Amino acid sequence: MRTPTRSRRWTEADIGDRTGRTVLVTGANSGLGQRTAEVLAHHGATVLLACRSAERGRRALAAVEAVATSRPHLLSCDLADLRSVRRTAERARELTGDRIDVLVNNAGVMAPPRTTTADGFETQFGVNHLGHAALTWLLLPALRRGAAARVVTVASLLGHVGRITLDDPNFVRRRYNPASAYAQSKLANLLFARELHRKLAGTSVSSVAAHPGYSTTGLVSTMARAYPRPVRLLAVPGARVADLFGQPVRTGVLPQLFAATAEAVRSGDYVGPQGLGGLRGHPGRVRWPRPALDTRSSARLWELTADLTGITPDPA
């Protein structure tokens, strides 16, 4: 495991010319995803915005077009529906001539009441992990044709304290807890990124993980509004107070931009803020949390994911 490094204060200004590079960003219709798309498009990349909401996607596309030097594209992508994921991958490969340089697995849902995806999976596990894993595997042929391609998996500090129950990841037999389910899904992101790194050894494709620290994207408040009114009365004001101590999207996005573009990044790296316990600050390589280093769990999750999605991993 590489020793964490404290880089100089890396910013968007350190991103070089991305002309000729193609990037796909999931959840690019708001927050960290939209900012990632805007910054990379501004630096010359051709950006594909993979969004679930057509209306919000069109608004984000217009914002990206306003700063882009290469024409961006909007893709319909519902990570809660594996049929949609397959269509997204097919369309992305068509649009790019089967060549993608960076995949940023950014989209996510956080702590909603218990619901299931179109395929019957618990929503957070289904969207945050299974949908992204499926998309990654389906796009690997295009990534192999990219220039030193990278898969950037956006995780969370809550994944550091997560526990994964591989014999009941969808909370069928155990009681559903939204916070525990979210932490499980983000630990799954980390385990997947690590296993993908191992499977891709000796290839031109890198697997890197990143987390934004505590970034004020409004995700917590948005999810809290899905709960009954008594819960909202407590959760929404609490989230707004917590936001006072977070960092804005323009700073929170830096770890995933660093992971996607910095020359110093290598496959298997984990990137995050380097100040205030990882909650905020400028990006650099950080230590992987102990639960993510469990190779037995990552290998079992890899196999389980293939079984649940019906997609054959092909990273060789």
Two tokens, residue 250:
């323009």
Cα 11 vs. chain centroid, distance in angstroms? Answer: 20
Exposure string of 278-303, with b = 16+ CB inside 10 Å and e = fewer, is bbbbbbbbbebbebbebeebbebbbe
Query: Which tokens belong to 182?
Result: 């979210």
Q: Are 83 and 118 in contact (CB under 8 A)?
A: yes
List, by residue number, the catalytic residues: 182
Distances in Å between the Cα of 186 and the Cα atoms of 43, 126, 131, 239, 277 are 29, 11, 13, 20, 18
